Amino acid sequence: MYYTDDTVIFLDGQYVKARDAKADLFGQTLHYGYGAFEGIRSYRTVNGTKIFKATEHFERLKKSCELVGIPLRYQVNEMIQISYDILEKNKLSNAYIRPLVFCSPNMTLSAPKEVSVMIAAWEWARYFGIDQLVKLCVSSVQRPNPKSVKIEAKVCGHYVNSVMATMEAKERGFDEALMLDMDGFVAECSGANIFMEKDNVLYTPPLGNILPGITRKTVMEICRELDIQVKEKLFKPEEMTTADSAFLCGTAAEIAGVESLDGQVFKKPWRNSLGCIIQEAYKCLVLDKSYSYVIV
Ligand code: PMP
């Protein structure tokens, strides 16, 4: 699904066939989740294939590594160039790009001696489908304590939490999990940030218990351009069920409308919501098109 016999990936300075690439079974990352990664997308735009927010993603990768003490020796520009090479070598336009920084064989808990970088890409369709709205549930799985993990870092081990939340949501018949922080406030979804609309204002949880999403920031930029008011504010799930509408945002999810929370359907039809306007503007942005025609 992710590669064929012809797929080429980048691994430690070389372009190699994915099927020939090897990683050591005694790596620290595999055993302890001590590694960092990114999730990036490229689009076929009117100006050719473009990686959306490439600099922001690779800067976050560097920051994630720094925060947990993994020495990443590549520069942002180098990694962007490698990503474009990978797209070209695999003839990809609309793709998902996955850089992974992983550590050398080391069964102790001490600092890594060597660090590897791999960058792979594969074709990627929309996560939730164009017209499909997401059925959310409040998860019993909380976000990790920001005093025990670097919450703003995209670190491999943090994602056990997201896998558990997603599994629980699907078992209960929902599409996605809405996770709360330790104090019961809404934090984010397993792999996306959350916004809700109330009386023509958008609300989203502040930084602190969430991954600082690049799409979340893009949404805020779109709102500034379109004169849509956004407030960063803590709110409980009970408050969210009285919202007019809601949406998730993330590199993979893009802007995905939410139909319901714990079975309670949001009152505003998606097509009339602020999220729908932002979804349209976001689509233009990733495709390098002007969204000046998107009128609020
Ligand atoms: N929260 C979590 C936990 C995520 O994994 C992601 C995806 N990276 C996001 C939010 C959204 O972040 P971004 O918009 O940068 O993809």
Question: pLDDT per residue over 74-97, tens digit each?
Answer: 999 999 999 999 999 999 999 999
Cβ-based neighbours of 40, under 8 Å, separated by 6 or more: 51, 52, 53, 54, 57, 83, 96, 97, 98, 99, 251
Give the pLDDT score at 294: 65
Q: How many A from CA of 38 to the centre of ligand 1? A: 9
Name which residue sits closest to atom 2 of ligand 1, judged by CA.
191
User: pLDDT band at 1, cuts 50/70/90?
Assistant: confident
Shortest-distance atom of ligand 1 to CA 56: 15
**Nearest by Cα to 269 from 129, 133, 130, 126:** 133
CB neighbours of residue 99 within 10 Å: 24
Q: Which amino acid is at 256?
A: A
Q: Which residues are catalytic?
A: 154
**Nearest by Cα to 226 from 294, 290, 167:** 294
Shortest-distance atom of ligand 1 to CA 60: 15
Shortest-distance atom of ligand 1 to CA 53: 15
Identify the three-state secondary structure at position 163.
helix
Q: ∠79-152-57 over CA atoms, to 5°?
A: 25
Q: Is the confidence at residue 275, as pLDDT, over 90? A: yes
Mean pLDDT of 237-264: 97
**Nearest by Cα to 191 from 164, 223, 221:** 164
User: pLDDT band at 128, cuts 50/70/90?
Assistant: very low
Cα torsion at 75, 76, 80, 85 (round to 10°)? 10
Identify the three-state secondary structure at position 96.
strand
Mean pLDDT of 127-153: 88
Mean pLDDT of 191-209: 98
Mutational test site, ligand 1, from 193, 204, 207, max ligand atoms within 8 Å of CB: 193
Pocket around ligand 1: residues whose beta carbon is below 6 Å from it? 39, 162, 188, 191-193, 211, 213-216, 250-251
Give the pLDDT score at 293: 63
Q: Is the confidence at residue 135, as pLDDT, over 80? A: yes
Q: How many A from CA of 20 to the centre of ligand 1? A: 30
Q: How many A from CA of 5 to the centre of ligand 1? A: 30
Name which residue sits closest to atom 9 of ligand 1, judged by CA.
192
Mutational test site, ligand 1, from 100, 176, 211, max ligand atoms within 8 Å of CB: 211
What percentage of the chain has pLDDT greater than the value 70?
96
**Cα–chain center distance at 248:** 10
128 or 151, greater pLDDT = 151
Cα torsion at 57, 59, 60, 64 (round to 10°)? 140
Distance CA 110, CA 13 (A): 25
Q: How many A from CA of 248 to the centre of ligand 1? A: 10
Give the pLDDT score at 125: 75
Q: How many A from CA of 1 to the centre of ligand 1? A: 22
pLDDT in tens, 21-53: 999 999 999 999 999 999 999 999 989 999 999
Mutational test site, ligand 1, from 215, 221, 285, max ligand atoms within 8 Å of CB: 215
